Structure 1
């Protein structure tokens, strides 16, 4: 299981950037076309979404500058956090990103696939065995 620091090592985060620097690197043609919203453990107690024991996770953002992933920080130097993906998405749109990736390496979930009765007649035996 990751903590925030080991997650950033796993994601190969190369550094940080502030929101104020984004227009500069975009104008220079150094900002990548997409960003990444990724799940982190909350660093901030505030944010208006209550008890950190009930809501231990937040969303952070990586942007690519010169091909390197950089974590988005606030002007105060702290990791920028959002409580919901809807808020991250709104930030992305407001800051000129038309598409982004989303990843969650912290919350393990099990996905049960439905038991489908698929008709296999007409398929070569290599696909039905």
Structure 2
């Protein structure tokens, strides 16, 4: 995405490129502020606020951020882990954290190494 600051003919054009990283973080901060305001005014339920501002959602956002940087395999792995942990927490499954995360890390690391397409010379 490009923004042209000076569009008058005959002058040097200054072009500023918005990086995906800055765009993603900016949008997330704006949405977080809006949702926080909605909660403060009583327009968003406490359970929805706790879901949105949980550490599970932070893992999902990190995965989505990696996806926005075109890092498909690590981004999808982190996003999948975050969604799975969010579901385990919201469905109130009585599964200890360490019994889930370490096996999942091994599984997703294996998938990453299998699907990694680096040129090996």
The TM-score, its normalising length taken from structure 2, stands at: 0.26
Which is richer in helix? Answer: 2
Q: TM-score, normalised by structure 1?
A: 0.25
